[in-house]
Structures are given as structure tokens and as C-alpha cells.
Structure 1
Amino acid sequence: MALPEIWFDDIQDKLTLATGEWSAIARWVSATLTGADTQATWPDRLWADERPRLVFLSLSDGQQTATVDYGSSIGLRAAIEAAIASVQSRGRGATVPYCKIDIVQSAITSERLNSERPFRYDRSLYGLAYTRESQIALLPEELVGWQLLDAEHKLDADRLSRYLKKYPERAAAWQVLRQAARVKFYRFACTSFATDGRDAWLLYRGHRCFNAIAPSDLLNAAERGGRYLRHQQSPEGRFTYCYHASRDRVTIDYNLLRHAGAAIALLDLYEVTGELEFLDAAQGGLDYLLPFSQTSPLVPTVGCCIVENGFAKLGATALAIIALVKYTICTRQQHYLPQLLQLARHLQAAQQPSGAFLHHRQAYPSGEDTSFVSRRYPSQAILAMLYLYKLTERESWLTRAEAGVRYLLMTARPQSDFEDYWLLRSLSELFRHVRNPRYHQQAEQIATVIANHQHPGRPQADWLGSFGKPPSAIATAARLEGLCAVYHLVNVANVAVNRQAHERRHDIIWLAGRFLLQLQCEPETVMYLPKPARARDGFRQQLTDFTIRLDDVYRSITGLLAVYRLTGEPTSQVIRYN
């Protein structure tokens, strides 16, 4: 087999590309592959490039794992033409809709014993290559997408053998390398961009770089997340709880609290868009949920609670109530009302005169308290009471919600560590009805604590706007909803605030929304997975793997919709970042 003209130890200089240049290259490559009669042209400045270049070309039909070819030569144009020739020699490219280009910018050469010890670098940012003779070079997205390097950065040799089967020469070379006592390898970094033939996107860590966000981007992402939920829903109404996309495996675990949250997200989408597909999916979710409603151990003659795996959880009952109230208000139908009121009676019985909620988790049917204490369940129960007030207009629910808030504020942890985003939403909702300055002041304090914990873009650039250690979808989206609630409250309640702090919160909100967009599974993000179509439009748990959990998806939907709703208020319609 012919050896590559240029390999990683030949790369000497980085190639800086302007926005117009990388997008022009992407369109030129797409037009060349498809034979389309377009106006795509090669950037003028890059005709003069005469340095050693190595380029990867990944093609995906959106259904199967992408094929990856590479080309090398003197000059970028010649290297890309070599990669295109490799693609065409295999009879591919003319009809493939998604194309990704990776230009190798730097490489570090190392040698080590051929052992199972971890590779000490970030698998999501750097690729792994072996000798020129082996022709084995793996992009970081391949390492993560097929989990060739696991979370501990250990190479799965057998899995790599399976992955390389579609490249016979590389597969044979890998079997030889596996027997070597020592191996030479390269850690390399790329500039990456992708195109679908119409648009082009600069990529970082395999995801799009968002330099400008419009409200339509937020709504579009939320809608696609809703369709992911709908496609992952069984005929009985149950959602896929956790999909490990790198292994194409689904876990059998389930959680009804998060199931109820998914129904809430779908109802939010229906409320904003009016699309019946979201209402149908939400109703399917409610129909799956309600058979888990069992006689309440607290008020057995008149109440019910949500029971799962032998336990009655306060939070599951609270979120079920919120979902049922939203459905009843959105549709003006009352067929869920009897069950809703039975669940409400259990919630009522779970609250003490002090405002505290006992029995966060009870064994069922004995009713024995398990001593489990949740930081979130009481705030979820308070929000459910405020929803019940919105539906029934009974002052007793408002009184109970206020008692619950007072108790939580009295027993709150030190301010510097108090990030109860469910309470933040409850405070904002309560202040609409009870204009107690303390509620707004406390909401402002919690929002400030949350905002101070937002990542500033260090140690990684794409951490900007995120929350959590490491940054995650659920940590970011949950806090984002709380921040949006306070921001909306200031806009509509005409309360006195520090305008500079309010404007800063606006930026914090949009940065968090941008981070969530990075986690959505776009065609170019999922192209290296075993089954790209199955993961598309979901929201990953983190930037560095492809675990897609139900709560990551539904919280991302509700978080993005919360930001979208703000765009009808006095705020910028398009946010740009440097």
C-alpha cells in the first residue's frame, strides 16, 4: 500500500483561517464531491500555501457511522484534493449530505510501552495516530463517538479492531501494532468545520461554535429536543431514560419524577408552538404516569401519591401535579381533574403547620418514613402548590405555598452556597401574588449566588456560560430556568433593582443558553456514533461523552424555552459574542 506523502511529524506550521476562508473551503469541498454547479470558489490567499498539510475528510449519510479519509501534500489545496480522490476511489461522496473537514495544525510525537495504561490527554480535543506505515489516525470525535478511548482514557483495543474493519489495510496494521512491545504515537490537534452543502459551521470539540444567537435558534433547538423525546417514547408513553450513544445501549433504569418533567417540557412546547405532536406526546406521558398513582398513606380515603419501586416520593407527586395542571390549563379539558385533586390532597397532608414537608420518601404501602431528605423536593412541592393556586384560585394553596417558602428561608443554608433553583422559581411566582419585598430580595440573592458560579470560559473555551463540575446540561439548564424567572419578574413586576446587575444577568442567561446549544446532537456531532440517527436532536449530558439522559433533554428544552420567552420583553433579539 502507498504510504502517505505527509505524516504528523512533517507538520510544521499552523494555518490560520478567516471566517470567510473556512466557510468557502467547506462549500468548495461539498461542491467538488457532489459535482454541483455552484459558485463555490477556492479562497485566493490559500493558493499560495506551500507548507506540508494533512487533512481529514469525514462523510456521513446521517444513518451510519461516518467514513473517514485523509489526504496529505504540499499545500492545503493539494492535500484536500488528495482526500477527495481517496473518497472517490471508494465510490463515495456524490450523494452524502454531511461533510466535515479537519486540518491538522499541530502534533506531538511520543513513544511508550504497548500497555493498557491511560493516554494522558483530553480525548475530546486531541486525536491519536500511529506510525506512517500503519496509516492509523483517529480524530478526537472518533475516539469519543465510538468510545475507543474510555472515560479513563484507556484504549479499548478490541473495540478499535471492530471499528477499523471497514478499513482493511488499517485493520491489518492494527493487528501488527497490538503485538509490538513499544509503540510510537502522535497526539494531534485540528481546525474543524462542517457543511451540509448549504450552510457551514466552525467546530470546536465536534460541536458548533455559536457566535450569534437569535430567538429562532432557541426555539428550533427546543422543538428538535421535543421531537427527540417523541421519537424515544414507547407506544405505552414511557420515554427512553438513558441512551449511551457511543455503545448504542439503553439502560433499563427509570425515574417517574423525570418522566413527569419530560411531560412538562412537552406541554411547554405545546404552549409556545401550538404543535399537536407535542401535546399528543405529553398526553401519552401522562397516561403512562397516572397508573402509578396509588392510595396515599397519609390520607388514604381521599388522596393519592405517585409510587415507584415501593416508594412514594414527594418530588414525583409534585411534578405530576405540575404536569397535570399545565395540561388542564393548556387544553381546557378536565378529565384528569379527579386524579389531580387526589394528588393535591396528599401534598397538602405532607405539609406541617410550620410549612415544612415531612416524608420526602415513604416506603409503600406501609407509609414508613425512610429518613431520606431531598434538597429539592420541598421547593418542587411549593411550586406545585402555586400551580394549584393558578388553576383553582383557592387562597388556601397560596397560603400553604407561602408557609413553605417561609420555612425554607428560615432554614436555608449559608448564602454563599444556596443555589435552590426550584425555590428561585417559586419565589418569583409567589411574588406575583404576594408583594412581600423579602421574597424578591431573597430571589435576587439566590440568583446572584447562582450567577457567581457560572464558568467564565476556563479552563476550556466552550465551558463559557455553563454550570456544574464538570459542566453539564442539567446543572446549566436548571439554573438557567431559575435565572430567567427572576429576570422576567423584574421586567414585569416593576420592582427597583440594580440595572447594571440586571443587564449582567441578561448576558449570563444568554451565555447559558448558548452552552446548551453546544450540547445538542447535530448531524456533524453524531456522525461518528454507531447509530447517528438515534441520537440526533437529543442533548448530551456533557461535552466529553455521548450519554443522553431524559433529564438532560427535558431540562434543556425548558431552559431554552425560558430564554426564548424573554425575547418578547425589553432585551436584545440577537446576541453576538467575540
Structure 2
Amino acid sequence: MPNEEDWRWIKADLVWSIKPHQPRVLIERIAMTRRNFFRHGISFDPDFNAALLEQELNGIGGIGFDDDRRLILRFDRINRHLRTSRGIQELSPEIVQRDTWYTFETAGVFYDRSGPAECAYPLINVGYGNGIRQAPVAHDTVAELIEQAGLYLARQLRDDGSFHYGFFPVGHEAIPTYNILRHSGTLYSMLEAWEAIGNDTIAVGVPRGIEFVLRETLRPLGEHAVVVDHANKGEIRLGAQAVFILAVVKYTELTGDRRYLDAARQIGRAIIDRFLDSQTGQFVHVLDGADFSVKDTFRIIFYDGEAVLALLRLYKLDSDPVWLKSARLAFEYFLRVDHWQHFDHWQAYAAAEITRHDPDRRYVEFGLKNALGNLDFIHRRDTAFPTFLELLVATLEMVETTGAVEIDTLNPMSAASLLATAHHRAEHLRYSHFYPELAMYFRKPRQIVGSFFIRHHGFRIRIDDVEHFISGYCMYRRFCSKHDSALLGERAGHLT
């Protein structure tokens, strides 16, 4: 037992609800529950000698897939945990023959001695946030989430400028793939976090990450250049071009250092000349890295909005009218094919940005439909989906900057619903943060604390997952800071 003076995280749980179950019935219930969404503790005996909290079950992978992809209790993992962490006898194979198992709920408190201010936090004891601290999404809380996630990403940046791409934290298994688009998007979010919080540690390695892209992936093509994704069949993907431009523009804006801007311009010209149809405004999505032929006209909806946003952000910094002209051409295509039906966060960004330059009523209506057409689903969605918050706040920013309340698509009730849904999603995202009181149950808690995870993908932590949580929260904090730092509460009146 470690010396008590060395303890940093201390947690106590008190059982407040117990329900008996026939083992067969409970096993079937577990099999029918979404992965990692079984939110109850289980005791295999009435005296709770062999009881595991919900967080323990998740942390050890105590509920997992069998060979047929059916969710089962993994007694091999449970017994290893009981033996090695608890020092108690393993469960016998006859455990399933018992008459009764028990599910239970707890009320808990967590004491954190790791920071400059020692704090005790009461924990949520019901619903999606079960087991994490009670902390409403107030201004300072959002700032802490952004800072912790930004510092996590900074720790993932290697000396050569690449990232530790991600982990499955149950066994702390590294994700063996890589994606250069997500690499650049992660750099962008680190810059956003630095801008929001001011902690230099978050962004000090960003130039190293940019130079990794330039050194390892950039291919010159005369006056053009393209980012090649060598880890994915050498493809040249529209999104990878666009998101690198976004990272460079953000870096240039924040630092005044223009050394990477020529590369961004070369890539921008490649987007216009190699990916954008000058007649229709339609983008192609993927080129073959071997001969630059079109490999996929369409790959994923994200690429279109990313490309328009990149051209607009480049125009903001560079002022060459070709960037704005090309972005308008592409957005007109979006209008003709009703691209808003994809309800995409990158299109929300693009709509908010293009209406800063041209508040065309059609552009504004597009942005509103892109959000309002899916608002009920966004509000009810049980998984984290961090890009929803980005979509909502980008739309709110467009509403505020364009006076979109005068457009029929947006009535007072719609404006209030946008705002209420943004608040709801901001709180819901918090349930996917690796607070210490949750991280402590996984194999290497100090390596994952402060990050964000995707619960239904085995608590996956990937750099781009964390990226989107950061981006959403940065936008949310910035938007709400304009309104007396009170996160607006129910004050939607000025939007109506």
C-alpha cells in the first residue's frame, strides 16, 4: 500500500440503490446494450465481496465482445482484476449458476490532490455523466477542459513532429494507423486552445508538426503543391489540402510568422486547379498519388466544407480575389445540390465564413437549414458527437453576424432552440472527458487524463477526437464570452 502522503486521487462510493437479477436475464440485458453504455455496477454476491463499480467494469473491459461480436461479461478480465488489483479469490465457473446477481448505483466523492488547489468533488450519480464530477459548464470549467485537452495533445507530439495517433485505453493499445488530414486538424485545434487559454506549452510544438507535413508529405507541382497521405495508399485527398491550409493560416494569424504561407498558397492553387471544376463548382475528392488522375469524385462530405473554409480563410489573410471567387463558385454548387441535407459541421463553418464576406440571403438560409433540419436528432443523440457543438455554434455566429433573424427560416423559437441545444451538447460533451475519477480505472491513467474519448468505440482516444472536442468548446466559450460570460442561460432574446 503506497504511503498515504503520496496519494493524489482518492475516491469513495456509497451504494444507494440495489436491484436483484437472475443471471441469465442480466446477461441478456448486457448483450442488448450499446457497447460501454451499461451504466451500473454489478455484484456477484449479496455481501458485495465480489462487486465492481460501473467504472471498474469499463476500465478493465469487463464487458466485451465474444467471437460472434456479442457483448458478454468477460470473466477472464474480471478474474484477473480481482486477483491482481483486489487480491481476492477469482470467481468460480459456477458463478453463473447462482440464483441472484445484483446491479447497484452509487453516490460518490472524489478528492484531487494533484493540482495546485486540493479539491473535493461530489460526483454525478445518474445518467450519462454517472461517476464524474458535478460541474456545470461555466466559463472557467470550459477553459479547464480546453486547457487539459490541449496539454494532452501537446504530450502526444513526437520529436519528429508526428503524433502518437491514439489509444484504446482499456489495454492501452496504440492505434497503428495514421492520417495526415487529422494530423493537420490536430495542429489547428492546438492553436485554437492556445488562443483561448494562453498556455504556451500547448502550442510550442506546432511548428514542428507543420514542418513534419512539409518535409514528409508535400509534393511540389510547378506553381502548385499537394499534401500526399503516404500512410493511406499515397492518396491526395482534398480534405488534407484544406485542413493543412487552415492550420497554417491560424498559425500565421496568431504568431505573425509568415514562413509557411507560401506553401499554403501553393496548396490553395492546387485545390482550385486540380480539385475544383471551374464550370460547375463541384470538387473532386481524391486524386491518385501516382498519376494525379481522379480516384474518387466523392469520398466524404467533410471535404467540401473544409475546402471552401480553407479558401476563405486564405483570402482573409492573403486578399487574392481568386480565393473568394473560387469559394463562391463552390458554394453556389452547394446551393444547387442542396448540400445542407448532409447536416455537416464543416458546411456550417463555411456558411458562417462566406456570409462574413457576402451576406447573401441564400447562403444564410443554407446555413440555417444545415443546422435546423437536424436539430431534434442533435439534441437527443446519446453519443458524444463533438462536431455537433461546432455545427451549432458556427450557425449561431452566422445568425449574429448576419442578422439572420429577419429570414423566414429562423423564427424566435428556432433561435432559442439553437441556443438551448448548444448548451445541452456542451454539457453532454463533458461526459466524454477523462477526468481523473474516471481515468483512474484504466491501465495507464496518467497518460490519458485530460483527454476526451469516444465511449462506444471502446473509449477510443484519437488525436482527431480530441481535436473536435477542443474546437467545439473553443467556439462555445468564445461565443458565450460575448454575452457577459454567463453562457447566455436562457437569454436568447437578442437573437429574436
Find the aligned partners of 2:431 and 2:352 in 1 and give their Cα distance.
28
How far is the alpha carbon of 1:254 from its aligned partner? Answer: 0.8
Q: Give the whole-Å Cα distance in 1 for the aligned partners of 2:108 and 2:489.
A: 20
Deviation at 1:92, TM superposition (A): 7.1
How far apart, in 1, do the equivalents of 2:100 and 2:312 lie?
A: 60
Partner of 1:199: 120
Q: How does 1:19-30 map to 2 (within 5 A)?
A: none
Q: Matches of residues 260-409 of structure 1 in structure 2 within 5 Å? A: 260-295=184-219, 300-309=221-230, 310-349=234-273, 350-371=275-296, 373=298, 374-409=300-335
Change (3 A) 1:102 1:136: same
1:522 counterpart letter in structure 2: Y
Q: Deviation of residue 534 (structure 1)?
A: 1.2
Paired residues of 1:126 and 1:140 also in contact (CA < 8 A): yes
Greater CA radius of gyration, 1 or 2?
A: 1
What is the CA-CA distance between 1:492 and the residue it aligns to? 3.2
User: What is the DSSP-based 3-state SS (H/G/I as helix, E as strand, rest coil) of the residue aligned with 1:367?
Assistant: coil
> Aligned equivalents of 2:53 and 2:64: distance in 1?
14
Return closer, same or farther for 1:393/1:209 CA change in 2, 3 Å cut-off.
Answer: same
Structure 1 unmatched runs, 5+: 1-89, 457-466
User: Is the contact made by 2:311 and 2:326 (CA closer than 8 Å) also made in structure 1?
Assistant: yes
User: 1:355–1:405: 8 Å Cα contact kept in structure 2?
Assistant: no
Q: Which moved more, 1:512-521 or 1:538-547?
A: 538-547
Q: What amino acid does structure 1 have at the position aligned with 2:389?
A: L
1: CA distance between counterparts of 2:280 and 2:259? 31
The C-alpha deviation readout for 1:470-493, integer Å capped at 9, x for no partner, is 513xx3x22221221221232233
With over 3 angstroms needed to count, the CA separation of the structure-2 counterparts of 1:108 and 1:328, relative to structure 1, is same
The alpha carbon displacement at 1:575 in A equals: 6.6
Q: 1:130 aligns with which of 33, 44, 48?
A: 44
**CA–CA distance in structure 1, aligned partners of residues 456 and 120 of structure 2:** 23
Shift of 1:337: 2.1
Which deviates further from its counterpart, 479-488 or 246-255?
A: 479-488
Whether contact under 8 Å (1:242, 1:550) holds in the other structure is yes
Q: CA deviation at 1:158?
A: 2.4
Other-structure match for 1:190: 105
Instruction: Evaluate the alpha carbon distance shift between residue 135 and residue 214 of structure 1 in structure 2; reply closer, same or farther with a 3 A threshold.
Output: closer
Distance (whole Å) between structure 2 residues aligned to residue 424 and residue 186 of structure 1: 49
Residue pairs, 1:56-455, within 5 angstroms = 96=7, 97-112=9-24, 124-132=38-46, 135-151=49-65, 152-166=70-84, 170-172=88-90, 174=91, 177-178=92-93, 182-196=97-111, 198-203=119-124, 204=126, 206-208=130-132, 210=134, 212-295=136-219, 300-309=221-230, 310-349=234-273, 350-371=275-296, 373=298, 374-412=300-338, 417-455=341-379
Given candidates 526, 540, 544, the residue that maps to 2:453 is: 540
Q: Which residue of 2 aligns with 1:40?
A: none
Aligned to 1:64: none
8 Å CA contact retained: 2:45, 2:102: no
Residue 313 of structure 1 aligns with an amino acid whose one-letter code is: R
- Which residue is equivalent to 1:530? 443
2:425 alignment counterpart: 512
Could you say if the C-alpha distance between residues 115 and 191 of structure 1 is closer, same or farther in structure 2, counting changes exceeding 3 Å?
closer
Structure 1 residues 348, 159: closer, same or farther in 2, change over 3 A? same
Instruction: For 1:420 and 1:571, locate their aligned partners in 2 and report how far apart those are by CA, in whole Å.
Output: 29
When residues 206 and 530 of structure 1 are mapped into structure 2, their CA distance, relative to the original with a 3 A threshold, is farther
CA gap 1:119/1:428 in 2 versus in 1, 3 angstroms: closer
Identify if the C-alpha distance between structure 1 residues 188 and 132 changes in structure 2 by more than 3 Å, giving closer, same or farther.
Answer: closer
Alignment deviations for residues 113-139 of structure 1 (CA, whole Å, 9 cap, x no partner): 999996556763122222358931111
Distance in 1 between the 2:337 and 2:314 partners? 25
Structure 2 CA distance for partners of 1:394 and 1:438, relative to 1, 3 Å: same
Q: Residue deviations 1:209-238, cap 9 Å, x none?
A: 656321111111011100010112211122
State the partner residue of 1:483. 392
1:180-229 Cα distance to aligned partner (Å, 9 max, x none): 67244413121332221633222245443656321111111011100010
- Alpha-carbon distance change, 327 to 540 in structure 1, aligned in 2, over 3 angstroms: same
* Letter of the structure 2 residue corresponding to residue 190 of structure 1: E
* SS of equivalent to 1:397: helix
- Provide the identity percentage: 22
Instruction: Report the RMSD for the aligned CA atoms in angstroms.
Output: 2.8
What is the CA-CA distance between 1:532 and the residue it aligns to?
0.9
Q: Are the aligned partners of 1:114 and 1:182 in contact in 2 as well (CA < 8 Å)?
A: no
Closer/same/farther in 2, CA of residues 403 and 372 from structure 1, 3 Å limit: closer
Report the CA distance shift for 1:368/1:452 in structure 2 as closer, same or farther (over 3 A). same
- Distance across 2 between alignment mates of 1:546 and 1:479: 19
2: CA distance, partners of 1:571 / 1:448:
26
Q: Hey, what does 2:483 align to over in structure 1?
A: 570
Taking structure 1 as reference, are residues 184 and 306 closer, same or farther at Cα in structure 2, changes over 3 Å only?
farther
Q: How far did 1:507 drift?
A: 1.4
Match of 1:84 in 2: none
- The structure-2 alpha-carbon separation of the partners of 1:148 and 1:540, relative to structure 1 and needing over 3 Å to count, comes to same
Q: How far does residue 323 in structure 1 lie from its aligned partner after superposition?
A: 0.6
The answer to whether the Cα contact below 8 Å between 1:260 and 1:320 also exists between their aligned partners in 2 is yes
1:500 aligns to what?
A: 413
**Residue 455 of structure 2 aligns to a residue in which SS?**
coil
Structure 1 residues 91 and 109, CA, compared in 2 at 3 Å: closer, same or farther? farther
CA 1:570–1:157: 2 relative to 1, 3 Å: closer
Question: Can you list the C-alpha shifts for 1:440-471, whole angstroms capped at 9, x where unaligned?
Answer: 12111212123232234xxxxxxxxxx4xx51
Whether the 8 Å contact between 2:14 and 2:107 is mirrored in structure 1 is: yes
Matches of 1:134 and 1:489, distance apart in 2: 55
Which residue identity is paired with 2:346? Answer: W
**TM-score under structure 2 length normalisation:** 0.86
Residues 255 and 230 of structure 1, relative CA distance in 2, 3 Å threshold: same
